[in-house]
Amino acid sequence: MRIAADSGTEIGLDASIAVCPPTDPARAMDALNNGFFAYERYFFRRWYRSLQYKLQHFPELDYGAELATAKSLDDLNRIFIPQHTIYGNVDDYFAAYALVGDRLTALAMPAYLIAAEDDPIIPVDDLKRINPVENLKIEIYSHGGHCGFIENLAAHSWVEGRIVQIIQAQLS
């Protein structure tokens, strides 16, 4: 969404679609830290392992000792954001990443944001903090969790079909 708003026309985007984006990353982190512990652990392990893997292939990055001290997502954010982004602290990084307020007003092409009321990570109330934008359609569904949108016992997600519908409508 941010790329579409900032550079979409320049890079030739015809439309953009986001599913359960972190509308306000600071509040998403709060939801992770205060919600069901398994979510925070899941995202921590995934990021931690990816950083270990990266270090195996790029040992010159030399952040192994710092990585070993990390025990949570908050730790990873505090370690890596100031050292590996243009932002001096986590709050500034999250503020720059947020979609709330007027952040998306420059959208020059159709954009779709798909979210769920029962998302345990992205507070649905944050969507109300996005100022109205003519080209932005926000679709909020009662159920979907965080990027799940499960339609059957085989755990198939119906959101892929919705994305195809959006793309087909854009092409016609």
The Cα–Cα gap between 151 and 149 comes to: 6
* For range 56-69, the mean pLDDT: 94
Give the number of other Cβ atoms within 10 Å of residue 128's Cβ: 12
Alpha carbon 104 to chain centroid, angstroms: 15
The Cα 101–Cα 37 span in angstroms is 30
Q: How far apart are CA 142 and CA 92, in angstroms?
A: 32
> Is the model's pLDDT at 134 over the cut of 90?
yes
Q: What is the mean pLDDT of residues 100-105?
A: 96
d(CA 150, CA 152) in angstroms, rounded, equals 6
Distance from C-alpha of 123 to C-alpha of 54, rounded to nearest angstrom? 31
Answer yes or no: is pLDDT of 171 > 90.
Answer: no
| Residue 145 confidence (pLDDT) above 90 | no
Helix (H, G, I), strand (E, B) or coil at 136: strand
pLDDT value at 170 more than 90:
no
pTM to 2 decimals?
0.87
Q: Is residue 24's pLDDT more than 90?
A: yes
> Distance between CA atoms of 8 and 1, rounded to whole angstroms?
9
With 90 as the cut, is the pLDDT of residue 58 above it? yes
Q: Are 117 and 143 in contact (CB under 8 A)?
A: yes
The answer to whether residue 151 scores a pLDDT higher than 90 is: no
- Predicted local confidence at residue 78, as pLDDT: 95
Domains, the chain, ranges and CATH? Answer: 2-23+101-171 (3.40.50.1820), 29-94 (no CATH)
Task: Name the band, by pLDDT with cuts 50, 70 and 90, for residue 147.
Answer: confident
> Are the beta carbons of 162 and 114 closer than 8 angstroms?
yes
Q: What is the mean pLDDT of residues 64-90?
A: 95
